[in-house]
Amino acid sequence: MFQQAMKSLRRTMIKGVLAVGAIEVTTHLPTEGRSAEVYHFVCDEMAMPVIRRFINPEDAHHLALAVAQSGLAPTYRPTAQEQKIDWSMPNLWIEDDKSTKDSKSMAPPNCIGLAAGFDKDAAAIRPLFDMGFGFLEIGSVCLKSQPGNPKPRMFRLVPDEGVINRYGFNSQGADAVEANLQAYRSGGVDKTKEDSTSNEKSSLWSVVSKFLQNNGLDKFLPRSSDEQAVQGLLGINLGKNKNSTTPTEDYRTLIQQLGPYADYLVINVSCPNVDMKNLGKSTSAMEELLLACQDERNKVLQNQKGSKKKIPLLVKLSPDLTDGELKDICICLMKIKIDGIIMSNTTSTRPNGLLSSSSIVAERGGLSGKPLKERSTECIRKVYQWTDGSIPIIGVGGIFTGSDVYEKLKAGASMVQIYSGMVYRGPGMVSKLRHELSERMLQDGYRRLDDVIGLDHEDLYWKRKNYKLNA
């Protein structure tokens, strides 16, 4: 009886080992876990089309956040090509260490970031970094909690690979976001960790996690806080409450409250779904607002005595400005020495030739994704030209491939962000972009990211390079 039991146990174990071996040989899942090619394929090529077919865009957005929070999203998939690239950006935001008198660039580990609007309340910072982003921008965060516009308020333009949204700054408010940021910065319990610890209490989860651990499949488990990969820069995008009559005061309070948690701050004056009271269009109104925000940011820095931290303050602009308006704004931003420009937000216009049904195209809101790509790149090129390449630009709008990133960098962006592309290409897109961009750069003989920025502007490019050689 005992011998029979042992025999059957041995047989089961051999079968188990063979099964895991076969899975490893065919898929690399046991050794590569959520970064395995097959895991990316299942998420991006199988799950995403099903989600797009059966789940409305806003619910799909919440589902994507929940999957990220539970630590099940595909993780960064490194390739040999990108190891050959020098991702450093020596000229981006230099911070001084007051004690050692050293200065260093506070650049992110790579130039691909997540655009504002996906993680509005800072609920999934760690897992989003694990996907391979070099930087994340949370928000837009409003001072007080507000629900945003009535649903439905997000629409897919599938044939055009575009998105229209009129969320209208739905935000849990500064207090709730601060609690999430505090947890993230202290490396303690954030939503991700909370979820995994409460999950661990459930007996089903403990059986599953023990099984995965015992079979070398623990790469599928959410990581604990001390196991996290190198994290990049965290930006906080600030917006204005719908009914606020004192926007400048609101932005000041937000900077005071959330500034200490930020690697950079963004003043969003370009949301097409909120009445911005001319702040994003009139140069004088924008200048007044940004000077007040810089003043408040400086106070935050003074309060962090002894800290070497710099908090760059950026502004996010609309692609719907006329050339005249954009040029005036560029002159103003150089005058007040803004630290960076995010180009661009969504557009209220509808380009000719959209293929989606006219009822969807006619939905109110900001259009993003492929139909925005050309316009946003054109704006980046103009801003780089009109600011003499002196202000770092974060390029965003319609990025789907490594070539799209390359185009934006050549037009003058130092870094890029993505959002709508992931609605169509899935969360594995971050790894793909890093790989495709590296391939594209190597094809053209570039090994340093810094050598690609602003390539389209021959005069400014060489001015920058000569300046650096002589510096």
Ligand X SMILES: Cc1cc2nc3c(=O)[nH]c(=O)nc-3n(C[C@H](O)[C@H](O)[C@H](O)COP(=O)(O)O)c2cc1C
| Minimum distance of ligand X from residue 95's CB (angstroms) | 24
Q: Could you tell me which residues come within 8 angstroms of residue 289 by beta carbon, excluding any fewer than 6 positions away?
A: 247, 248, 251, 267, 269, 279
Which one among 398, 402, 428, 454 touches ligand X, defined by CB under 6 A? Answer: 398
Task: Report how far Cα 432 is from the mean position of its chain's Cα atoms.
Answer: 15
| Minimum distance of ligand X from residue 140's CB (angstroms) | 4
Residue 242, both tokens? 């719908």
Question: Is 154 near ligand X (CB under 6 A)?
Answer: yes
Q: Which is nearer to ligand X, 422 or 460 (CB)?
A: 422
* Contact status, residue 227 vs residue 196, Cβ threshold 8 Å: no
Question: Is 433 near ligand X (CB under 6 A)?
Answer: no
Q: Could you tell me which residues come within 8 angstroms of residue 341 by beta carbon, excluding any fewer than 6 positions away?
A: 314, 315, 316, 317, 333, 383, 387, 391, 392, 393, 394
Question: Is 414 near ligand X (CB under 6 A)?
Answer: no
Question: Is 356 near ligand X (CB under 6 A)?
Answer: no
Which residues between 215 and 254 bind ligand X (CB under 6 A)?
237
Q: Which is nearer to ligand X, 222 or 319 (CB)?
A: 319
Pick the stretch among 1-9, 110-118, 126-134, 301-309 that binds ligand X (CB under 6 A).
Answer: 110-118
Cα distance between residue 351 and residue 341, in whole Å: 24
Q: Which is nearer to ligand X, 138 or 452 (CB)?
A: 138
Under rule CB under 6 A, how many of the chain's residues touch ligand X? 26
Q: Which is nearer to ligand X, 85 or 342 (CB)?
A: 342
Residue 205, both tokens? 């989860």
Q: Which is nearer to ligand X, 346 or 377 (CB)?
A: 346
* Contact status, residue 34 vs residue 41, Cβ threshold 8 Å: no
Query: CA nearest 270: which of 383, 411, 423?
Result: 383
Question: Is 365 near ligand X (CB under 6 A)?
Answer: no
Question: Is 314 near ligand X (CB under 6 A)?
Answer: no
Which one among 165, 356, 414, 431 touches ligand X, defined by CB under 6 A? Answer: 165
Question: Is 140 near ligand X (CB under 6 A)?
Answer: yes
Residue 381, both tokens? 């090129």
| Minimum distance of ligand X from residue 396's CB (angstroms) | 5
Pick the stretch among 66-74, 124-132, 162-170, 274-282 that binds ligand X (CB under 6 A).
Answer: 162-170
H-assigned helices in 349-457: 358-361, 373-386, 402-411, 420-425, 429-443
User: Residue 180: is it exposed, middle or buried by C-beta count within 10 angstroms (0-12/13-18/19+)?
Assistant: buried
Q: Which amino acid is at 290?
A: L
Q: Which is nearer to ligand X, 268 or 387 (CB)?
A: 268
Q: How far is CA 249 from CA 138, 141, 229, 252, 423, in A?
A: 21, 15, 37, 5, 35
Which one among 346, 377, 431, 438 touches ligand X, defined by CB under 6 A? Answer: 346
Question: Is 180 near ligand X (CB under 6 A)?
Answer: no
Q: Which residues bind ligand X (CB under 6 A)?
A: 115-117, 120, 139-140, 154, 163, 165, 167, 237, 268, 316, 345-346, 368-369, 372, 396-399, 418-421
